[in-house]
Structure 1
């Protein structure tokens, strides 16, 4: 089974599975297609994280996030009068890590090479693909943003306009880059003419990235961090991602009797949002490149710390504003999951951060660069302060859950800063309210505005619930668009089958055979 945010990606994954590929082969084939057909969400100019669960429950994690330029310095930017890194700044571009991550997944868990798994992505980039409805909806507001860059305007606008639903788009330069990777491996991207073109484009705009920075890109093998919730073991990747915050939220929520509540009630959402408020303030204060963190992931889950946070929550009154500002909950990412016939599950997430990333596209290679460096702070002495060769705090997080020591749920939630909250929401829906996978994904969502901490409620959150939250002291606004997206595959150990769910907030689907 495969569950992705786009039918063409799900189809590509199933093709690989039918041809004898593993879940890793299928996952890379799917994310490569998404890098073409959802270019505002993801691409080879971005980063990748993954969790792999073997049939026996053995978990392994992969962190393929890129670093800042070796010559980057917060002090240099502060000297230029900057107090933060803008999302559309060339200084927000970090080394793309995705292809090294895909390469590692194929080498360690796959049967095929890039020549086989990139075939569909190359075909869609070369011959064209029809723009799907949600993608067109997201694309239409990015025209002015894309017009500012030669490469972006050339490849991602059609006659100077955003494509509409059903319009056919071609990405010929990206197709040639993918063909080079298919023939020569990831080295074709990080060394030689492709790397030279990318560095030249970025350097001309003021980036400190060099050929040596690209050549040095290497993914990290990491051990997932876990917690127990509702009879299952939930696994997240350690920092520099924010997965630990999902576990903190779950640990806080364990201190309350959610099962006694209506899943759409003000009482339930109040507790969830208060737990998020506390967990996220810790994220912004302490999470960073693990080489620079002063607190271990395990310390976030210490019982005394969780008890102290939970004790701060008043079921009838919203907490006052926390002192730490949250990072933006609005960013663009793709998540997918695949399970193969042997029972190996891959949970993978790939992102260029905000819509169309930095907005900078190399006109020669067609590579659209991420703006993940905007997650750095320029605050002197902060653990997440920009520094040479450092990885920024990351929002994208895949997840996995085990039950009785075996894979139980491979899942993820898109939506930038919302993701830890989304993970906790989905797990609680399943464990506390016995929702099936699709219902757990469909369930209405709330999240906090990055600046005001006002709650944003999706359309289907009942008005009674909104008023109940207002009565508790929350400011609540209706969300202008759906919050995030999600995909999941659950193992049914009684029947030996798989149960897939795909978020209607996106264009995707879950399919199996």
Structure 2
């Protein structure tokens, strides 16, 4: 099957994001001499305006940043903490943490402070220049895309339940249609204030309005929660796969699951003849189920529990258990359903600096709560906490929730080879693995790897149990063979949105003098270079 778009190749810089306007804005920053971090901030802020169903300044972020000058890889945790007055007892009447509404917005948004740290260490251009496109689009208006229009229609009841959200995303109760102009003047002013006064304005000043709006609706966050929050630098985690070093974010990110899947697959011989064959898919499925079992047993905020990372990432663990899982397709794992709306940004600049930034509101439109004073759409990441005191991700004051967000970077001979990631909760480690195996094992370029058929094991909201979905472009004989092995495969059309919307950049090196960028036809993104 011919790709929907060519792989993007360029020599001086590359951006791949989930929306064409964000990619274009970030590319302008690279052309102006900005660092890859500058371009990533520009893309992220723009995405929060043009694709608010997926991302915004009311959400979280995780970064991997390679600095070519020092030849170092840094990781940044911009995940917000649960409010310090919020306990299990706060939800005694409900019996659950609400999935939407003011009482689901119980973690501080961490993204903006992560911008502060990344920009302070690596940025070259002023923050005002980086945020100018998002300010313009919020104030002048942006065309409602087909994806955004569909998400508004799907979530119209949740959006209508909040006066602030309804005033932005609905037109007198009617969902905005494709091609309508979406105006967000309050958000434009907040972004302008951040640009002029610095990112801490969000936590010191804008937070007053946000907290007031939440508290009027039985929300639980306090102004002190915002003021006390700070993103933090952390050490990346890694494994070795086919002679490459693969890096991820540490907990509370689920990055460890992605590395464990690779450890499992590293013991399976895959040749180019196995691409889209039953052997590849069966090994992939069993690796995912095996890794998810360990992930769900341990993943939480490492400040609140001991996570045996060294044992989990030891290739010997996968070697000990691989044959048993490969020998029985009935071995399975039931995941807890998770949110899926996230966005990933891949950037590389002329000096070889590289960034993988993943940012999210957790669900589509997060909590579906918009503070009218600031225009900030708030995340519902905290709804993933458990109320079970024996669960590793049980809610606690000041705790970060286990997070689906993960950012991947592959190194070859000590230098970055590929930056890659995707949208989608359970999807993220699976789609990231799909990209790695198709590039490293099967020799595909990044665009072809992105467009290749995917599978998805797990649960999304509304699923009563874990499902196994395979896109219809997978060979029919492979699907038949999987069913014969005992896999309950369901075929879905291609491209299928539940498979995530991936972006990737392969950097220049001995293998090519050009950057290579790809973006997912399952979404509205593009890769652009110069």
TM-score interval (norm. to shorter): over 0.9
The answer (yes or no) to whether the contact 1:274–1:318 under 8 Å persists in 2 is yes
Question: Residue 63 of structure 1 aligns with which residue?
Answer: 77
- 1:438 paired with 2:447, answer yes
| Mapping for residues 359-508 of structure 1, pairs under 5 Å | 359-450=368-459, 451-479=464-492, 481-482=496-497, 483-494=499-510, 495-508=512-525
CA distance in 2, matches of 1:67, 1:489: 31
| Cα distance, 1:425 vs structure 2 | 1.3
CA distance in 2, matches of 1:225, 1:27: 22
- Please provide the CA RMSD for this pair: 1.6
- 1:190-216 CA-to-partner distances (Å, cap 9, x unmatched) read 112x21110011112222211110001
Higher mean alpha-carbon deviation, 212-221 vs 461-470, is at 461-470
| Cα distance, 1:18 vs structure 2 | 1.2
The answer (yes or no) to whether the contact 2:211–2:223 under 8 Å persists in 1 is yes
- 1:311 paired with 2:311, answer no
Question: Residue 8 of structure 2 aligns with which residue?
Answer: none
CA distance in 1, matches of 2:419, 2:490: 32
CA distance in 2, matches of 1:308, 1:293: 25
The answer (yes or no) to whether the contact 1:345–1:410 under 8 Å persists in 2 is yes
The answer (yes or no) to whether the contact 2:60–2:109 under 8 Å persists in 1 is yes
The answer (yes or no) to whether the contact 2:66–2:355 under 8 Å persists in 1 is yes
Q: 1:181 aligns with which of 188, 194, 208?
A: 194
- 1:88-110 CA-to-partner distances (Å, cap 9, x unmatched) read 15343210001001111111110
**1:16 to 1:326, Cα distance in 2 relative to 1, 3 A:** same
- 1:6 paired with 2:22, answer no
Across the two proteins, how many residue pairs are aligned to each other? 507
Q: TM-score, normalised by structure 2?
A: 0.92
Q: 2:331 aligns with which of 320, 326, 349?
A: 320
The answer (yes or no) to whether the contact 2:426–2:458 under 8 Å persists in 1 is no
Question: Residue 43 of structure 1 aligns with which residue?
Answer: 56
| Cα distance, 1:140 vs structure 2 | 2.5
| Cα distance, 1:296 vs structure 2 | 3.2
Question: Residue 73 of structure 1 aligns with which residue?
Answer: 87
**1:472 to 1:436, Cα distance in 2 relative to 1, 3 A:** same
- 1:116 paired with 2:129, answer yes
CA distance in 1, matches of 2:373, 2:477: 54
Question: Residue 349 of structure 2 aligns with which residue?
Answer: 340
Q: 1:291 aligns with which of 278, 300, 303?
A: 303
Q: 2:159 aligns with which of 131, 142, 146?
A: 146
CA distance in 1, matches of 2:61, 2:88: 25
The answer (yes or no) to whether the contact 1:43–1:351 under 8 Å persists in 2 is yes
| Cα distance, 1:150 vs structure 2 | 0.4
The answer (yes or no) to whether the contact 2:101–2:369 under 8 Å persists in 1 is no
Q: Secondary structure at the match of 2:238?
A: strand
| Cα distance, 1:265 vs structure 2 | 1.8
Q: Secondary structure at the match of 2:420?
A: strand
The answer (yes or no) to whether the contact 1:248–1:301 under 8 Å persists in 2 is yes
Q: TM-score, normalised by structure 1?
A: 0.95
Please, which runs of 5 or more residues in structure 1 have no aligned partner?
none
CA distance in 2, matches of 1:273, 1:417: 13
CA distance in 2, matches of 1:144, 1:129: 23
The answer (yes or no) to whether the contact 1:48–1:351 under 8 Å persists in 2 is yes
The answer (yes or no) to whether the contact 1:284–1:327 under 8 Å persists in 2 is no
| Cα distance, 1:58 vs structure 2 | 1.4
- 1:168 paired with 2:181, answer yes
